[in-house]
Amino acid sequence: MNNPFDMLHPTVMIRNAGFRGRNMINRNTIINGYGQMAKIGYGTTVGGDCIITGDIEIGNYCQFGWRISIRSGDHPLDKATVFSNSRLLNGVVGSGREGKISIGNDVWIGDSAIILKGVKIGNGVAIGAGAVVVKDVPDYSVVVGNPSRIIRKRFDSEIIALFNQLGWWDFTFEQIESLVETHELFTFSIMEDRERAVQVLTRCIMLKKHLFALGNLFTTPLMVVESFG
């Protein structure tokens, strides 16, 4: 297996997880799919002291802060006890209901945020520090609070549609650096120069279609890590 990590702190613990490559995982973080396979996209970085467990799928180029909790399960509320530890009757109580968590591409999650089971987070979302996300979050929303609430969209609907059509997160680091069109996209404020943004995004979409036709867009296999740490 090729090494999928740009950085993997020796204190990290991983069980039943797959990585698309160029990932960075900081100290004391736990990633465990348990009976599922936790999937982490290309280029995604995870801060320290995070817990990512269960049926989780995370897209490309996401950045997570520190002390973040993302868990697809919870404790049972309909049983005699919420104590689901295996020391009690060999775990006969079981856990609560599972709910897959899907996180899109280019998502930022601030320190100490909590993502609860069953939540779907769209592309380009920014989640503020300490937020508790209890329901789905649409593309390019900015979310804060407990329980979380949307305070605004990062861009207007036309710009969001262009970003989703482009899907720049399908490019590698090297392609973004080498291609003039994609490189330019990251060099200015979308909000301050909207007209330029529309033009650059449109050119990038045309370029991506061309590269796709040539078979030059990357596809990275899921590199499975059954056990580390």
Q: How many Å apart are CA 66 and CA 26, to the nearest integer?
A: 9
The whole-angstrom separation of Cα 19 and Cα 24 is 10
183 is catalytic: no
Q: Please tell me which residue in 9, 75, 183, 210 is annotated as part of the active site.
A: 75
Burial class (CB in 10 A: 0-12, 13-18, 19+), 28: middle
Peptide bond into 221 cis (omega under 30): no
Backbone angles phi, psi at 94, to 5 degrees: 75, 175
CA-CA distance, 89 to 216, in Å (whole number)?
A: 55
CA dist., res. 29 & res. 109, Å (int): 15
Q: Under 8 Å CB-to-CB from 7, ≥6 apart: which residues?
A: 24, 25, 26
How many CB atoms within 10 Å of residue 173?
Answer: 12
Catalytically annotated residues: 75
